[in-house]
Amino acid sequence: MSLTLYNTLSRKKEPFVPLKKNEVGLYTCGPTVYNYVHIGNLRAYLFDDILKRTLLFNKFPVKHVMNITDVGHLTSDEDEGEDKMLKGAQREKKTVWEVAAFYTKAFQENMKKLNILSPDILCKATDHIKEQIALIQQLEKKGFTYFKGGNVYFDTSKLSDYGKLAKLSLDAEAKARVQKDQNKKNHHDFVLWFTKSKSQEQEMKWPSPWGVGYPGWHIECSAMSMKYLGEQFDIHCGGIDHIPVHHTNEIAQSEAAIGKKPWVKYWLHNEFLVLGQGEKMAKSGENFVTLPTLEQGGYHPLDYRYFCLGTHYRHPLMFSYEALDGAKTARRRLIDKVLEFKKNKDKASATKQKPFLQTFTDAINDDLNTPQALAVVWDVVKDEALSGKDKYVLLAKFDAILGLDLKTVKEEKIPTEVLRLAIERLQARQNKDWKKSDELRERISRFGYVVGDTKEGFEIKKSD
C-alpha cells in the first residue's frame, strides 16, 4: 500500500504525492519556550516523528524544519491576555532571553530521550525578525494590512477563502462574539506587528518600519517555513488546537503573500493527550506532567513513546499511570524477546518475512496506524513458523518507525540483591527450610524475577 495521510484541509485520507521529487518539505510548529514542555506537547512531537520516519521509510527525501517560539506571545491564542515569555521571566526572575535558552535546551533533551529525530533546521523566531518584517511589508504592499492603534493588522476580509482549514462560519462567529480589540476591522483580523500592546514591559523589541516593537505570533511560522522550504511545500503539522487560529492565520498571510496558489499541500493534526475527565493537558493547567516527572517515577522515556504508539494520533489519548504501567511491561517483554531472538543462529528467510513486512508497511502507510503496527510486532513475536533470526530481522526493520532502540538493547544485568537472595534461598533449600525458601522466592519476585531450581543450583529469569 502506498502512503495515505489524512488531510485536515479536505477532511479525507489522501494518497501522498510530493510536490517535488528531490525534497519533501515538512514543517512542524515547535514549542513556546516559557516553561517545560509537558507530555501532551511531547505527544505532538512524537506524532511528527512517526510521520517523518514513515516518509523516510517510504524513501522520501525529507527536509524537516521546526520553529522555536522564543518571542513573547500572549497567553490566549488571540491578541489578548498576558505575554507568555514575560510571565515566565517574572516567575523565574530571569531575563526573557535566559528563560528562552533554558527551556529550549530542556526541550531538546526531552526530544533526544524520546528518540525523536532532530529536525534538519531548528529555527528561532528571534533569529528571523528580518524575514518576518519583509513578509509583513510584502503583505502591506499588496493591500492586506492596516495600521491602527500602533499595531499592524492583517485584514481577513481581503481574502475570499479565509478560514477554509477550520471551516469557520465567519458571519455566525463574528455575531456571536464581543470584539475585545476595538482596533480590529473584522473579528478574525490579527496583529502582524505590535508597537503598542498590553505588555509594554516587553524586553524583546526590534526597530521596524512601523516603530519599535515585536511580531505577532503567526508570522514567524510563515516567514521561516518559506525561507527554508520555499513558497510551496508538502506538509505542515501541529496539534488540533492550532486549526482555528494559528494555522488558519498562517495560511491567510502566506497565501495572501504568494498569490493565488495553495501554500501547503497536506495539513496534519494530532489529537490531545487528556486527563481524567477528558480535559486537555495544558501548560497553564495544574496537572501537567513532564518527562522528568515520569523518569522520577521509575519510567523510561521510551515507555512513554510506546504508550503513545498504542493510540492513533487522531484519537484522544487518556493518560493514566496504570496505562503507562501497561506500556512499560509490554516494552520490557519486547526487549526480552528481542534479546532472545538476537542470539538465534538460524538462517533468515526473506520469503517468510515478506508478508509480515507487508502488513506492517500497510498499517503504517494507512495514515500512520501505529496501534495496528504494534499488533503486527506482537504477531511476529508469537509466530511459530518464523525463526528467531527472522523475527529479529523484522523487528529491527520495524524499529525504523517505532524508534524503540530495539537494535541496541542490551541484556539487563541481574541486580546483585536478586543474586544474593537466590544464593540465600539455595542455602535454605539445602537446609530443607522450605518456608524460608518460599519467602525468598516471593522477595525475588518483587524485583520482577523468577527463580527456578536446576541440577547445578538455580536459574533466574525476568518474570513475564
53 binds, among Zn ion, ligand AMP, none (CB under 5 to 8 A by kind): none
- Which residues 167-206 are close enough to bind ligand AMP by CB under 6 A? none
Stretch that binds Zn ion, among 82-90, 153-161, 220-228, 327-335 (CB under 5 A): 220-228
Compute and round to an integer the Cα radius of gyration of the chain. Answer: 27
Compute how many residues bind ligand AMP; rule: CB under 6 A. Answer: 18
222 neighbors 248 (Cβ within 8 angstroms): no
- Binding of ligand AMP by 238 (CB under 6 A): yes
> How far apart (Å, rounded) are the C-alpha atoms in residues 182 and 208?
23
135 binds, among Zn ion, ligand AMP, none (CB under 5 to 8 A by kind): none
Residue 241 CB, nearest distance to ligand AMP (Å)?
Answer: 5
CB 54 within 8 A of CB 297: no
Query: Could you say which of 18, 31, 163, 403 contacts ligand AMP (CB under 6 A)?
Result: 31
Residue selected from 153, 263, 272, 449 as contacting ligand AMP according to rule CB under 6 A: 272
Rule CB under 6 A: say whether 239 interacts with ligand AMP: yes
Contact flag: residue 281 with ligand AMP (CB under 6 A): yes
Residue 107: strand, helix, or coil: helix
**Local structure of 414: helix, strand or coil:** coil
Minimum distance from residue 270 beta carbon to Zn ion (Å): 14
What Å distances lie between residue 387 and 19, 190, 199, 353, CA to CA? 42, 61, 65, 10
> Residue length, the chain?
464
Among the listed ranges 49-57, 133-141, 219-227, 313-321, the one in contact with Zn ion (CB under 5 A) is 219-227
User: What does the alpha-carbon distance between residue 79 and residue 373 come to, in Å, rounded to a whole number?
Assistant: 42
Which phi-psi region, left, alpha or beta, contains residue 52 (left: φ > 0; alpha: ψ -120 to 50)?
A: alpha
Asked if 221 interacts with Zn ion (CB under 5 A), we say yes
Options 27-35, 129-137, 336-344, 375-383: segment touching ligand AMP (CB under 6 A): 27-35
- Sequence-distant (6+) residues with CB within 8 A of 335 are 406, 409, 412
Closest CB 84 distance from ligand AMP, rounded Å: 9
Would you count residue 77 as binding ligand AMP (CB under 6 A)?
no
Q: Pick from 46, 68, 191, 273: which binds ligand AMP (CB under 6 A)? A: 273
Beta-ladder partners of 69: 32
Among 164, 196, 227, 280, binds ligand AMP (CB under 6 A): 280
CB within 8 Å of 70: residues ≥ 6 apart? 32, 33, 85, 100, 104, 124, 125, 126
Task: Give the phi and the psi of residue 6 in degrees, each rounded to 5.
Answer: -80, 120
Closer Cβ to ligand AMP, 86 or 281, answer by number: 281
Q: By rule CB under 5 A, what count of residues binds Zn ion?
A: 2
* Closest distance of CB 28 from ligand AMP, Å: 8
Select from ligand AMP, Zn ion, none the partner in contact with residue 221, using the beta carbon and a kind-dependent cut-off of 5 to 8 Å: Zn ion
Helix ranges (H only) for 58-184 are 84-92, 96-113, 129-141, 170-176
Rule CB under 6 A: say whether 40 interacts with ligand AMP: yes
Q: How far is CA 421 from CA 289, 437, 447, 457, in A?
A: 36, 10, 11, 13
Q: Using the 8-state DSSP alphabet, how is residue 32 labeled?
A: B
We find the least distance from the C-beta atom of residue 117 to ligand AMP, in angstroms, to be 17
Kindly report the number of other CB atoms within 10 A of residue 369's CB atom: 17
Which range in 1-9, 108-116, 238-246, 253-261 contacts ligand AMP by CB under 6 A? 238-246
Q: Are 247 and 238 in contact (CB under 8 A)?
A: yes
Picked from ligand AMP, Zn ion, none, the partner binding residue 327 (CB below 5 to 8 A depending on kind) is: none
The window from 7-15, 216-224, 356-364, 439-447 that contacts Zn ion (CB under 5 A) reads 216-224
Is 241 a binder of ligand AMP (CB under 6 A)? yes
> 7, 8, 32, 54: which one contacts ligand AMP (CB under 6 A)?
32
Determine if 224 is a binding residue for Zn ion (CB under 5 A).
no
Tell me, residue by residue from 11 to 30, as one string, x for binding to Zn ion by CB under 5 A and - for no binding. ------------------x-
Q: 121 vs 409, which CB is nearer to Zn ion?
A: 121
Q: Residue 445: phi, psi to the nearest 5?
A: -65, -30
What letters, b where the CB count within 10 A reaches 16 and e where it falls short, cover 442-462?
A: ebbeeeebebeeeeeeeebee
Shortest separation between residue 41's beta carbon and ligand AMP, angstroms: 4
Write out the DSSP string of 170-214. HHHHHHHS--S-TT-SSTT-EEEEESS-S-TT-S--B--TT-SBE
Contact partners, residue 125, CB within 8 Å, separation at least 6: 67, 68, 69, 70, 71, 132, 215, 220, 224
Q: Which of residues 29 and 116 has its CB atom nearest to Zn ion in the complex?
A: 29
- Residue closer to ligand AMP (CB basis): 92 or 241: 241
The binding site for ligand AMP (CB under 6 A) comprises 29, 31-32, 40-41, 43-44, 238-239, 241-242, 270, 272-273, 280-283
Contact residues for Zn ion, defined by CB under 5 A? 29, 221
